[in-house]
Amino acid sequence: MTRSRSPRIPRSSQRSTASSAGRSQCTKCLVEESVITGLWVVSILGSCCNFLTLFYIVLALLHVVPIVYEKYEDKIDSFGEKAVREFKKQYAVFDAKVLSKIPKGPLKDKKN
pLDDT digits (tens, 9 = 90+) for 90-104: 999 999 998 888 887
pLDDT of the residue at 112 = 65
pLDDT over 60 at 16, yes or no: no
Number of domains in the chain: 2
Residue 69: CB atoms within 10 Å: 11
pLDDT over 70 at 67, yes or no: yes
In contact, 107 and 18? CB cutoff 8 Å: yes
Domain check: are 35 and 51 in the same one? Answer: yes
Domain check: are 35 and 60 in the same one? Answer: yes
> In this structure, is residue 110 part of a structural domain?
no
In contact, 7 and 98? CB cutoff 8 Å: no
- Predicted TM-score (pTM) of the model is 0.46
pLDDT over 70 at 5, yes or no: no
Which range among 35-39, 75-79, 86-90 shows the weakest confidence by mean pLDDT?
Answer: 35-39
Per DSSP, the residues of the chain read -PPPPPPPPPGGG--SS--HHHHHHHHHHHHHHHHHHHHHHHHHHHHHS-HHHHHHHHHHHHHHHHHHHHHTHHHHHHHHHHHHHHHHHHHHHHHHHTGGGS---PPPPPP-
> In this structure, is residue 109 part of a structural domain?
no
Q: Which domain holds residue 96?
A: 72-102
